[in-house]
Structure 1
Amino acid sequence: MNYEIGVMIKEDWEEVARIYLEGINTGKATFQSDIPAWENWNNSHITSCRLVARLGNKILGWAALSPTSSRCVYAGVAEVSIYIGEEYRGKGIGKALLTNLVKLSEEDGFWTLQSGIIRENAASIALHKACGFRELGIREKVAKMSNGKWHDVVLMERRSKVVGVN
């Protein structure tokens, strides 16, 4: 498949939101239960680190960073979001997106990327490990889905070897 990794733009939102909803519907990709409006999503994510996998006019998947804190000492720490369209999972698109997001984040001065992944999402955990993340621990029954089911979250982190090292 000859897709390209590129910058996410506002006009991609409809397809990005569709893929996000596919993730929500799995019950193991996020605790989010509905798609936010573009303005809310846009305001909560870092503008310089948003990517899509694009095949012609079709978005296959996306990845973005959001800040973990408003405190200046955490300016180089961000949380990863990555979602792949249902029909494109398992084809290497996630690895391409996350690898490019890591590179872009380092160019933008981020020294730590973190992810909180629902324990049942083995594919996402494996993807993060393949891209240099390590497991920090597990938060047991930290959040409850709207269906009442509690889930553990695996905390993962990737420290840059080029940014924030002295």
Structure 2
Amino acid sequence: MSEITVRPMMPEDWTAVSKIYLEGIATEHATFQTNCPPYTAWDASHTRECRLVVLDDGVVAGWAALHRVDPRWCYRGVAEVSIYVGEKFRGKGLGYHLLTALCREAEQAGYWTLQSTVLQDNAPSRGLHLKCGFRVVGRRERIARDCHGRWLDTYLMERRCTADEPTGYKKL
């Protein structure tokens, strides 16, 4: 049985993280993105906290990170989830370990709502999010075209903080 570990993502993980991201892009079910940005651009677009990798026997097998939904102060506790598991590691429960840890860290950091946009053809991702306490709050029909010109729907999934106030929440 392999040893599963979740730890904070480090800049030196970028080679493995970007490879996993490219594998997700190649499925055409994980994102509308068609290429992986350079680390500096990716780093600038994601929160500093709540960046995790999951290791399978010491190998980076997946990653998760948060992106602020809106820069306004009133939405400071709302973030969008990115989660990817490497092709050869899928179906082993690593996504559950990773997303569970991300949700726990997000609450400790003061986030009260996590959301994910899941493409219509990504049933495994929808199932994972449901298993981790997310719910479908909407379906956006024909919201974007894929690289083949086909219209696609997305599901907006949301998870609320389990406590009345997240641990890291600071009142003004």
How far apart are the structure 2 equivalents of 1:163 and 1:37? 38
Query: Where has structure 1 moved over 6 Å in runs of 4 or more?
Result: none
TM-score by length of 1: 0.96
Percent identity reads 47
The alignment partner of 2:70 has SS state of coil
1:28 CA displacement:
0.6
Query: Which residue is equivalent to 1:35?
Result: 36
Q: Deviations over 1:120-166 (max 9, x none)?
A: 1000000000000000010001011222111100010000121537x
The alignment partner of 2:92 has SS state of coil
TM-score by length of 2: 0.93
Q: Aligned AA for 1:83?
A: Y
Are 2:3 and 2:57, in contact at CA under 8 Å, matched by a contact in 1?
no
- Residues 40-55 of structure 1 correspond to what in structure 2 (within 5 A)? 40-55=41-56
Q: Deviations over 1:4-41 (max 9, x none)?
A: 10000000001000000000000110000000010000
How far apart are the structure 2 equivalents of 1:97 and 1:58? 14
Are 1:110 and 1:163, in contact at CA under 8 Å, matched by a contact in 2?
no
Q: Aligned AA for 2:132?
A: C
Query: Which residue is equivalent to 2:69?
Result: 68
How far apart are the structure 2 equivalents of 1:139 and 1:92? 28
Q: Structure 2: which 5+ runs fail to align? A: 167-172
Query: Which residue is equivalent to 2:20?
Result: 19
- Residues 17-166 of structure 1 correspond to what in structure 2 (within 5 A)? 17-162=18-163, 164=165
Q: Deviations over 1:49-80 (max 9, x none)?
A: 10001235521000111000010100000000
Q: Deviations over 1:73-92 (max 9, x none)?
A: 00000000000000111101
How far apart are the structure 1 equivalents of 2:121 and 2:100? 23
The alignment partner of 1:97 has SS state of helix
The alignment partner of 2:66 has SS state of strand
Over aligned residues, Cα RMSD in angstroms? 1.1
